[in-house]
Amino acid sequence: MADEGGPGKKKRVQSVLFMCNYNAVRSLAAEAIARHYFGKSTYVQSAGVRTGEPADPFMVAALDEIGIDASRHKPRTLEQLEEWEGLNFDLIITLAPEAHHAALELTRTNAVEVEYWPTPDPTILQEASRDQRLDAYRDVRDGLIYRIKTRLKP
């Protein structure tokens, strides 16, 4: 059966899961951005491979600068998400190598498309100034906005 959009065109994504290591920085941002732009047409969730810290205040601040409120985000693991609602997604986008390996494991039992978007971890700049750190978070935010708008647009 031919793809709906013809050769080379991808079928519209109706549900997407963003995965990272802890669901506190990159996948949190991706979920918030995707919900902001596509939340009425696409079901969006995020999860981490491991249990981690609360939402990163630098990423919450970077998102707040562009009018996206992620301050109430509660990080969750892949296992928690699976227990609460199952893992029925059209697309899983992974943002870190560990998350990508975990997502590929899911393809053994679930028919789901997995994409890897290598995304820098801005938390590694612990010794940088506050402005330098915030700039790194903005770079991640802006890169995710571009990729999400490109990939999820109808």
Query: Low-confidence residues of the chain, pLDDT below 50?
Result: 1-8
CA 36 – CA 32 distance, rounded (Å): 6
Residue 84 is encoded by which pair of tokens?
């609460």
Name the CATH architecture for the domain at 15-152: 3-Layer(aba) Sandwich (3.40)
Res 12: pLDDT: 82
Residue 106 is encoded by which pair of tokens?
């899911």
User: What whole-number percentage of the chain has pLDDT above 90?
Assistant: 71
Res 11: pLDDT: 74
Res 126: pLDDT: 81
Per-domain residue ranges for the chain?
15-152
Res 10: pLDDT: 63
